[in-house]
Amino acid sequence: MKSRSLIALTTSALALPGITSTANADSPPTESSFGYRVSTYEEDNLPEEFLFLGDPERYDITIHQFQLVTPVGENYGLTLSSSYESMSGASPWYALPVFEGEKSIVMSGATIHEQRRDYNLSLRRYQDNGNYAFSIGTSRENDYYSWSGGFDIARNFNNDLATIAGGVSVSNDDINPTDAALFNRVTDESKRTSSAFVSVSQIIDQNSLFQSSLNMTRHKGFLTDPYKLGDTRPDSRTQWAWSNAYRRFVNSLDAALHLDVRFYNDDFGVNSLTLNAAWYQNLGDNWQITPSIRYYSQSAADFFTPVNDFSLYGVPNSSDYRLASYGAVSGGLQVQTFIDDMSLVFKIERYVTDADYSIHNGQSSPALVNFTRMSLGVSYTF
């Protein structure tokens, strides 16, 4: 990542009529860095008034993430990342019809304890006018195994002021739900996912940057949630997302504004809009404080039903709150400090969701979840 001051000076210099460009080589990392971050994600418990059966305590997740970036030879960079996630809690199992004042959500009976381990490896080659990388990864839970592979490439133009990038990836998931015989769940299902993206980014002037990207993802296979009762979903899903980012540095305040807008659509019938704003305020040379706010709204999937209709066996229907119409607002605060070759970061985020926050159509779910997320990270360059 180039220094912002250097981009400012170079952009200004390249505007001079006598200066011709020299294409810049993309540079691989010259130093190794190690990062570790621990995050906790704690869902609010389901309000008692909605609970019919089960444990009101929803998911608590703790995630440990490790990353090592190191140069290999003169032109390559290797990134090894791994995460370990432990989950406990209960998630909604099915939803019942509700009469005024009655309880409707059935949480899955016992508290779930789960662990997930992910490993990813990518090797990136840096060239005179861009870079490309191959990556592979695996993810494993006790009832689930996934592998993935990908390739991406970026090319710089116009004195590195513009970059066009693209990539493809594929993954395969094998799903073997636990307690399949007991609850009449499926066994040995699988899902294949392929995805592609293109993006273009342009440095507008010495203080601002715009990036736009289009992503298509196609899932085929078993897309139903095996742990939800009466949940049946189509066996393919095509998703489109168009993301736009604008970054502006404000010299006089030594701060940067980040604005993001994302439009999403899929053939389940879900449309969504995400708006994100963050203010990165530098305080002296060693501190940075970042308040951020995000708004999210989505429509319900075509086959979403707020309560399970068990007569619809085999026909697409789901009461999963993630397929309901809802809106969400979240606010976060991040504090980062830099001490020599080390950086420490703390972030707290509060997420609140409600059917009324949605600007989209469709029915909502009583199982919408609020959560608080906290993370603490450290990174070290050597």
CA distance 8 to 201: 16
Contact 261, 274 (CB under 8 A): yes
Angle (CA) 81-380-289 rounded to 5° is 100
Closest approach of another protein to the CB of residue 237, in Å: 43
Residue of the chain from 12, 142, 244, 361 that contacts another protein (CB under 8 A):
12
The end-to-end CA distance of the chain, in Å, is: 17
Residue of the chain from 131, 206, 353, 365 that contacts another protein (CB under 8 A):
206
User: Contacts by 10-17 with C-beta closer than 8 Å and gap 24+?
Assistant: 10/159, 11/161, 11/203, 11/205, 11/206, 12/206, 14/159, 14/161
**Cβ-proximal residues to 300 (8 Å cutoff; 6+ apart), any chain:** 269, 270, 323, 324, 325, 360, 361, 362, 363, 364
Given the complex with another protein, which of 14 and 121 has the nearer CB atom?
Answer: 14
Residue 18 sits in the site that holds another protein (CB under 8 A): yes
Residue of the chain from 86, 158, 251, 361 that contacts another protein (CB under 8 A):
251
Return the range that interacts with another protein (CB under 8 A); candidates 6-14, 142-150, 334-342, 360-368.
Answer: 6-14
Given the complex with another protein, which of 6 and 216 has the nearer CB atom?
Answer: 6
* Residue 50: other Cβ atoms inside 10 A: 18
Contact 360, 298 (CB under 8 A): yes
In three-state secondary structure terms, 123 is strand
Closest approach of another protein to the CB of residue 254, in Å: 9
Strands (E) located in the chain:
33-43, 51-53, 60-72, 76-89, 92-95, 105-107, 112-127, 130-141, 144-157, 162-175, 189-205, 208-221, 236-250, 255-266, 271-283, 287-298, 326-339, 342-354, 371-381
Contact 250, 241 (CB under 8 A): no
Residue 16 sits in the site that holds another protein (CB under 8 A): yes
Given the complex with another protein, which of 9 and 344 has the nearer CB atom?
Answer: 9
Given the complex with another protein, which of 1 and 181 has the nearer CB atom?
Answer: 1
Return the range that interacts with another protein (CB under 8 A); candidates 8-16, 35-43, 75-83, 170-178.
Answer: 8-16
Closest approach of another protein to the CB of residue 340, in Å: 11
Residue of 162, 183, 265 lying closest to 226 (CA atoms): 183
Residue 198 sits in the site that holds another protein (CB under 8 A): no
Return the range that interacts with another protein (CB under 8 A); candidates 1-9, 224-232, 310-318, 335-343.
Answer: 1-9
Residue 162 sits in the site that holds another protein (CB under 8 A): no
Cα–Cα distances (Å) from 154 to 30, 219, 247, 259, in that order, read 19, 25, 20, 23
Residue 163 sits in the site that holds another protein (CB under 8 A): no
Given the complex with another protein, which of 16 and 182 has the nearer CB atom?
Answer: 16
Closest approach of another protein to the CB of residue 250, in Å: 11
Given the complex with another protein, which of 16 and 315 has the nearer CB atom?
Answer: 16
Contact 139, 85 (CB under 8 A): no
Given the complex with another protein, which of 56 and 71 has the nearer CB atom?
Answer: 71
Between residue 20 and residue 59, which ones bind another protein under the rule CB under 8 A?
20, 22, 24
CA distance 161 to 229: 53
Given the complex with another protein, which of 187 and 286 has the nearer CB atom?
Answer: 286
Residue 339 sits in the site that holds another protein (CB under 8 A): no
Structure tokens at 289: 């404080």
Closest approach of another protein to the CB of residue 158, in Å: 14
Return the range that interacts with another protein (CB under 8 A); candidates 10-18, 264-272, 337-345, 347-355.
Answer: 10-18
Residue 292 sits in the site that holds another protein (CB under 8 A): no
Residue 184 sits in the site that holds another protein (CB under 8 A): no
Residue 3 sits in the site that holds another protein (CB under 8 A): yes
Between residue 259 and residue 288, which ones bind another protein under the rule CB under 8 A?
285
Contact 372, 347 (CB under 8 A): no
Number of residues near another protein (by CB under 8 A): 21
Which residues bind to another protein, rule: CB under 8 A? 2-3, 5-6, 8-10, 12-20, 22, 24, 206, 251, 285
